[in-house]
Amino acid sequence: MSSPQSVTKNIVLGAGYIYFDPEDANGNLTGETYMAETPGFSLNIATEKLEIESSDTPVAETLVSITTKITRAGSLECRDISNNVLGWFIQGAQSTVSQTGTSVTDEAITVQQGRYYQLGASASNPAGVRNVSSVVIQDVTDTTTYTVTDDYVVNADEGRIYIVEGGAISDDDVLHIDYTVDTSSRVRVTSGGDGAQRGALRFVGDNTVGENRTVYMPQVELAANGDLAFKSRDTALSATFDLNILTRDGYQQVYVDGVAA
């Protein structure tokens, strides 16, 4: 028996980095950002065909097979949850909430014993304020001053109060709350109605074994798919996306480049 012809094999154990280049409202690319730690990234190709079969012979045979549609898609999992990833997953936008240091007087809240209440919550700032100090709680007539710990508890970092069960504050009491807000800022991610984020995606291979390649897709749509488990002792928080691979004007859908010699 003759020996098989010697062939160099490229066995690949894949690894690498994923970058995403989001489009702005006008469809223009804005610059690539490292997407996340990604334990999984894959492409899927689905082909639809129209087959014409013979009708004269006793057993039908395929005469012509015509490819009528090719759908290129993919999926990836992001395991470090940056604000970018969170925004893309909930299909929303990032903003910076700036909080100016000020004193608040007589913020009125109707309360129940054993309940928590957020300070500074409003239609324009539903999540309320953070980093408060000098909290004083009185009744609606501003004549009775309640006692911290016995009647209420303050979470200063979160800007929340708790009404102690069995304390001097009764159910349905209207409280007047004075407090000071520190100057601070924080990132906020809010959901929106614009749908999935579009942009270009680039995978730069850094394989454990095998030839490295770069995969570039000029236009994809990040379609969130699955759960974002904010609480779990078993698995790290991760966000999974389906990639709808689209066609950007003047480009092919997928480019795969080897390493330059």
Alpha carbon distance 229, 243 (integer Å): 21
Choose which CATH entry (3.40.50, 1.10.1200, 2.30.110, 3.40.390) describes domain 16-93+191-258: 2.30.110
pLDDT of 129 higher than 90: yes
Residue partners of 258: CB distance under 8 A and separation at least 6: 211, 212, 213
Q: HEC string of the chain?
A: CCCCCCCCCCCCECCEEEEEEEECCCCCECCCEECCCCCEEEEEEEEEEEEEECCCCCCCCEEEEEEEEEEEEEEEEECCCCHHHHHHHHCEEEEEEEECCEEEEEEEEECCCCCEEECCCCCCCCCCCCCEEEEEEEECCCCCECCECCCEEEECCCCEEEECCCCCCCCCCEEEEEEEECCEEEEEEEECCCCCEEEEEEEEECCCECCCEEEEEEEEEEEECCCCCCCCCCCCCCEEEEEEECCCCCCCCCEEEECCC
- Which one of 8-12, 103-107, 192-196 scores highest in mean pLDDT? 103-107
The mean pLDDT of 120-149, rounded to a whole number, is: 96
Tell me, what's the pLDDT at 215?
A: 96
Alpha carbon distance 134, 176 (integer Å): 14
In 3D, which of 158, 119, 123, 122 has the Cα closest to residue 136?
A: 119
> What is the band of 1 on the pLDDT scale with cuts at 50, 70, 90?
low
In 3D, which of 193, 191, 194 has the Cα closest to residue 25?
A: 194
Q: Which two tokens stand for residue 157?
A: 């970092």
Q: Which two tokens stand for residue 150?
A: 């016995």
Rg (the chain; Cα; Å) = 29
The mean pLDDT of 234-240, rounded to a whole number, is: 89
pTM of the model: 0.82
Q: How many CB atoms lie within 10 A of CB 26?
A: 5
Give ranges for CATH 2.30.110 in the chain.
Answer: 16-93+191-258
Q: Which two tokens stand for residue 2?
A: 């003759």
Alpha carbon distance 156, 168 (integer Å): 21
pLDDT in tens, 157-197: 999 999 999 999 999 999 999 999 999 999 999 988 778 89
- Across-strand partners of 186? 97
Alpha carbon distance 136, 106 (integer Å): 9
